Structure 1
Amino acid sequence: MQHTLPVIAVNGVIDAQVSPLDRGFAYGDGVFETCKLQNAKIPLWDLHKDRLIKSCEKLFIPIAIDVLETQLAELISGLSIADTQNAVVKITVTRGQGGRGYSVPTLVTPTIVIGIFPAVNYPPHYFSDGITVRYCKQRLSVNPGLAGLKHLNRLEQILARAEWNDGSIAEGIMFDTRERLIEGVFSNIFLIKNGEIFTPDLSEAGVSGVMRRFIIETIAPKAGLNIQVKSLYVDDLLNADAIFLCNSLYGVWPVANLIDEKVLSFPIHKITCSLQDLITEALAS
């Protein structure tokens, strides 16, 4: 039987329900990955899988990755060819069911939820002409123990995204409680200054994105570029020659305008364009 989007499976069973006793529902006790489905495959799956495994290890959630991959393959195989060309896959792994209270159950049986959804149709000009972003008042907590993880506790991002309803603003820029530049609401951020590239240190806050890692470890070296990971602040942002954002769904967006007390404009740098081309080429092969 062919499935139509959206389709969601819980522990391999389509349209099954998550128990109200599930610790992911009750406490946000779990992690997730949001991936692009392209031509029936997930680009950068090895990086998504690696982050998922390491995140589960850090939270002491035993994950059978072979079982998850089998469930994922079965769900994709049940889709029409058209639906597998461009879609979004969300994989959620929780600690599973448990009683009331924070104490971790002695026996843990994780819950695996895999959903496949229609693609997000971002305007093409975001990629070519750049986007408008704004500052967020909401700050990210400093927590080295959870920094980097894409865990289920996303209230800070929810509150940040609730700060604007203007459709012309594509993203919000977030700082931590120590006023360090960290990331976008759903993106990672890079600055270009004097031909060099910088990205925030995420060892105490933020999400270590898959596309960010791909750019740092694979794409930038191909372009002969070195990326410096360091603590960055608002002045670094304001004095940058150019800014770009990234995530695994849309790739790279240049930042054209930053709304502060006034609108600050930034050019689209040739380095940004080069990285976009290299990513497109790498993901098409």
Structure 2
Amino acid sequence: MSEWFETGSGIRVADPASRGLQYGDGLFETIAIRNGKPRLWRYHLERLTQGCERLGLVAPLATLERDLASVLARCELDTAYCIAKIIVSAADTERGYGREMPSQTGVSIGLFPSTPLDQLDYLNGVSTMLCETRLATGSPIAGLKSLNRIEQVLARSECLQAGVFEGFTRDADDRLICGTISNMFIVRDTRVCTPSLARCGVAGTMRQLVINLMDRHGKKVVEVCDMDENDLATADEVFITNSQIGTLPVIRCGDYSWPVGDSTRHVMGLLADFGIEECRL
């Protein structure tokens, strides 16, 4: 059972006239709450700020952290391990697509119960698939976590039907982009690579943390580049990242399979040392 709050007050019914509901005119952040505190808060705030700038929205930075803390203090859920979803949408206007730039915003905060993944997933890895759903390229919201998620809905539904943990999406030119709920990394020889998200996809906060940690403490620096299915076929290791789970080894994608390798374990160790306890084996 989720709990929703709007600027500190509990709400039960969304306004059908809101721009977020009508047009997907807004952004959201899905934040891991651990021991009552938001994890990777700075990373989430940076992405939200960048998204607001690109969409012409006034970022609600002055009160957002305080509002989230108030919601966590008032909610009935166990905040030791749960999920917070912050929705920032353009304020209501007269009917129609157009609005002022920049526009004022409304904020809704939802809390959801959560449970840790099975430790065996971190030890033994998970299976994935290549999704048939393609992502549109050249989008002005590339990299952002906008409210427009229908591509992810369709691709994620493929995963549920196939019974796999995750699915990798591609664009119309067959470039690998990201998972339906994660970002992907491929290890080959001395290289660790993650797909470019300049054209489409979502730039995850855990992805950025891994890039930063590898740059500072890793044995290899992450390369951001265009990738395709051939990179999966020739990979030595594959792993995925997500704000809720940290990092998981990938052992299969369709006909391709990989071991849980040293580079993946190294990344998991870096995250565990940073405080991502799910990755501590």
TM-score by length of 2: 0.93
* Partner in structure 1 of residue 58 of structure 2: 62
* Partner in structure 2 of residue 182 of structure 1: 177
Deviation, 1:15, is 2.1
For structure 1, list consecutive stretches of 5 or more residues without a partner in the other structure.
Answer: none
Q: Is 1:274 paired with 2:266? A: yes
1:57-113: per-residue Cα shift (whole Å, max 9, x none)?
Answer: 110111221222221010112246x81211111111000212221111478431101
Deviation, 1:191, is 0.2
Aligned equivalent of 1:30, options 23, 26, 29: 26
Structure 2 counterpart SS, 1:158: helix
Structure 1 counterpart SS, 2:168: strand
* Partner in structure 2 of residue 208 of structure 1: 203
Deviation, 1:143, is 2.0
Structure 2 counterpart SS, 1:162: helix
Over the aligned positions, Cα root-mean-square deviation in angstroms equals 1.9
* Partner in structure 2 of residue 76 of structure 1: 72
Aligned equivalent of 1:20, options 16, 23, 31: 16
Aligned equivalent of 1:116, options 95, 107, 111: 111
2: CA distance between counterparts of 1:52 and 1:164? 28
For structure 2, list consecutive stretches of 5 or more residues without a partner in the other structure.
Answer: none
1: CA distance between counterparts of 2:158 and 2:276? 36
1: CA distance between counterparts of 2:183 and 2:102? 36
Percent identity between the aligned chains? 32
Within 5 A, what are the aligned runs for 1:159-198? 159-166=154-161, 168-198=163-193
Q: Is 1:158 paired with 2:138? A: no
Q: In 2 relative to 1, CA 97–67 (structure 1 residues): closer, same or farther, beyond 3 Å?
A: same
Deviation, 1:39, is 1.1
Give the letter aligned to residue 165 of structure 2.
Answer: A
2: CA distance between counterparts of 1:11 and 1:169? 38
2: CA distance between counterparts of 1:14 and 1:112? 12
Q: Is 1:100 paired with 2:92? A: no
The more displaced of 242-251 and 11-20 is 11-20
Contact 2:142–2:198 (CA under 8 A) maintained in structure 1: yes
Within 5 A, what are the aligned runs for 1:182-261? 182-259=177-254
* Partner in structure 2 of residue 85 of structure 1: 80
Q: Is 1:149 paired with 2:141? A: no
TM-score by length of 1: 0.92
Give the letter aligned to residue 266 of structure 2.
Answer: S
Contact 1:211–1:247 (CA under 8 A) maintained in structure 2: yes
1: CA distance between counterparts of 2:160 and 2:264? 28
Aligned residues: 277
Which consecutive aligned stretches of 4+ in structure 1 deviate over 6 angstroms post-superposition?
none
1: CA distance between counterparts of 2:6 and 2:276? 31
Contact 1:10–1:17 (CA under 8 A) maintained in structure 2: no
Structure 1 counterpart SS, 2:128: strand
